[in-house]
């Protein structure tokens, strides 16, 4: 399973890029609004340090506007992927962009059928939002499982990108279900690395090594 960072914070991205595990980045207008830098400069810097898909979202509500915005965003870097919210207008835009050879990530997906429609419109990625589904008293990961099954049933190559991840269990479940990608905040990625038994183990090894060293 590929690991993406769900942030527009350059320091976090630069740090994780050195870990040897980062496959891509997802941003959205909310994440970009938290940063001080101009969004185009920021996206360009992210494209330079991460060799993988970088999602940037369009905000127009009509297909022509979405395509116009996308044409500008793809100039920022060759790895930019256009995030398009699911809607009839979004489907039209994703079809137009796909026909132009521009990759899209269908966002704000909350049902398996929305994901199927996005795939049919040519989306390269679909992003079910598990955390927000959980918040609304649905089981977000069930929707992910259904999308994975439907895509397997019909040999659909669109990648399932699990988004709105809030904790390590979402990541474990995504991997068990065979999702292609999990995108997560820096904090969750840090939590994935750590285990209390690892910390205790290192502490004990170091203490014992001191005894070896002193003879
Ligand atoms: O990138 C979109 C998604 O991951 C947002 O997550 O935490 O705002 O629901 P959240």
Mapped onto helix, strand or coil, the DSSP state of residue 110 is coil
Structure tokens at 56: 């940037």
For residue 87, pLDDT beyond 90: yes
Q: Tell me the average pLDDT across 176-186.
A: 98
Mapped onto helix, strand or coil, the DSSP state of residue 69 is helix
- Can you tell me the distance from the alpha carbon of 199 to that of 3, in angstroms, rounded to the nearest whole number? 24
Pocket test for ligand 1, best of 160, 164, 165, 185 (most atoms within 8 A of CB): 164
Calculate how far, in angstroms, residue 206's C-alpha sits from the geometric centre of ligand 1: 40
Q: Would you state the pLDDT for residue 177?
A: 98
Q: Would you state the pLDDT for residue 112?
A: 98
Nearest CA, atom 9, ligand 1: 164
Calculate how far, in angstroms, residue 208's C-alpha sits from the geometric centre of ligand 1: 44
Calculate how far, in angstroms, residue 92's C-alpha sits from the geometric centre of ligand 1: 24
Question: Which is more confidently placed, 68 or 213?
Answer: 68
Nearest CA, atom 5, ligand 1: 164
Nearest CA, atom 6, ligand 1: 164
For residue 109, pLDDT beyond 90: yes
CATH of domain 2-214: 3.20.20.70
Q: What is the pLDDT of residues 2-61, one digit of tens each?
A: 999 999 999 999 999 999 999 999 999 999 999 999 999 999 999 999 999 999 999 999
Q: In the chain, what are the domain boundaries?
A: 2-214
Q: What pTM, to 2 d.p., does this model score?
A: 0.96
Ligand 1 closest atom vs CA 163: 4
Proportion of the chain in helix, strand, coil states, percent, rounded to 5? 55, 20, 30
Q: What is the pLDDT of residues 160-175, one digit of tens each?
A: 999 999 999 999 999 9
Calculate how far, in angstroms, residue 86's C-alpha sits from the geometric centre of ligand 1: 15
The beta strands (E) that lie in 59-209 are given as 80-85, 104-109, 125-128, 159-162, 181-184
Nearest CA, atom 10, ligand 1: 164
Helix 112-120 vs helix 88-99: angle between axes, to the nearest 10 degrees? 30
Pairing of strands 125-128, 159-162: parallel
Structure tokens at 192: 């994935």
Q: Which residues are catalytic?
A: 83
Q: What is the pLDDT of residues 112-152, one digit of tens each?
A: 999 999 999 999 999 999 999 999 999 999 999 999 999 99
Ligand 1: residues with CB < 6 A are 6, 26, 28, 129, 131-132, 163-164, 183
Q: Would you state the pLDDT for residue 215?
A: 81
């Amino acid at each position: 399973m590929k690991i993406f960072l769900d942030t527009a914070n350059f320091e976090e991205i630069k740090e994780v890029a050195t870990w040897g595990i980062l496959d891509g980045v997802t941003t959205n207008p909310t994440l970009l609004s938290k940063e001080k830098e101009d969004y185009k400069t920021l996206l360009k810097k992210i494209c330079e340090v991460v060799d993988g898909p970088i999602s940037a979202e369009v905000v127009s509500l009509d297909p022509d506007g979405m395509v116009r915005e996308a044409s500008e965003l793809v100039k920022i870097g060759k790895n930019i992927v256009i995030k398009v919210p699911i809607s009839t207008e979004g489907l039209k835009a994703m079809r137009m962009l796909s026909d132009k050879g521009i990759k899209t990530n269908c966002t704000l997906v909350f049902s398996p059928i929305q994901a199927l429609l996005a795939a049919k419109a040519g989306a390269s990625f679909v992003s079910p939002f598990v955390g927000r589904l959980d918040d609304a008293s649905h089981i977000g990961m069930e929707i992910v499982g259904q999308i994975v099954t439907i895509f397997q049933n019909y040999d659909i190559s669109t990648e399932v990108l699990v988004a709105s991840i809030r904790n390590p269990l979402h990541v474990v479940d995504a991997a068990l279900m065979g999702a292609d990608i999990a995108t997560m905040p820096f904090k969750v990625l840090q939590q994935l690395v750590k285990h209390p038994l690892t910390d205790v183990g290192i502490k004990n090894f170091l203490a014992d090594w001191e005894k070896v060293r002193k003879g």
